[in-house]
Amino acid sequence: AQTVTQSQPEMSVQEAETVTLSCTYDTSESDYYLFWYKQPPSRQMILVIRQEAYKQQNATENRFSVNFQKAAKSFSLKISDSQLGDAAMYFCAYRPTYSGAGSYQLTFGKGTKLSVIP
């Protein structure tokens, strides 16, 4: 079974600084997707960024970028120029590209709570 581990339950960053959230995963698949979701106090789950395992280039979305290390099964999220609105729970998630069982649910890590200090 696939597992996703986020080893940092809480982190903090000064406004305008850069922070990196860690995520490791375990899978025997070679094709899969990895995601970072943001959950602010409003509790809405918001997709931040997505990475396809067959793509070597790291995904980037404005101030958010990932460092995808397939061999190490590592998928970290870097937030640059942190803003107060970035304060939230961040979840790393995995799903296989192909599933013999026909289901493509996400497997989530337990999350990292990010605080942004003004």
Partner 1 sequence: DSGVTQTPKHLITATGQRVTLRCSPRSGDLSVYWYQQSLDQGLQFLIQYYNGEERAKGNILERFSAQQFPDLHSELNLSSLELGDSALYFCASTKDPTGASSAGYTFGSGTRLTVV
In the complex, the residues that contact partner 1 under the rule CB under 8 A are 33, 35, 37, 42-47, 50, 91, 95, 97, 99, 101-111
As a whole number of angstroms, the distance between CA 65 and CA 51 comes to: 10
In the complex, least distance from residue 50 CB atom to partner 1, rounded to whole angstroms:
6
Quote the least distance from Cβ 42 to partner 1, whole Å. Answer: 7
Nearest to partner 1 of 35, 68 (CB atom): 35
- How far, in Å, CA of 84 to CA of 34, rounded? 25
Residue type present at position 74? S
Smaller CB separation from partner 1, 18 or 99:
99
Phi, psi for residue 117 in degrees, rounded to 5: -95, 125
Helix (H, G, I), strand (E, B) or coil at 84: helix
Place of tokens 């890590």: 109
Cβ pair 48, 62 in contact under 8 A: no
Which is closer to partner 1, CB of 14 or CB of 113? Answer: 113
Instruction: Kindly state the smallest distance separating residue 89's Cβ from partner 1, in Å.
Output: 10
Closest to partner 1 by CB, 57 vs 103, is 103
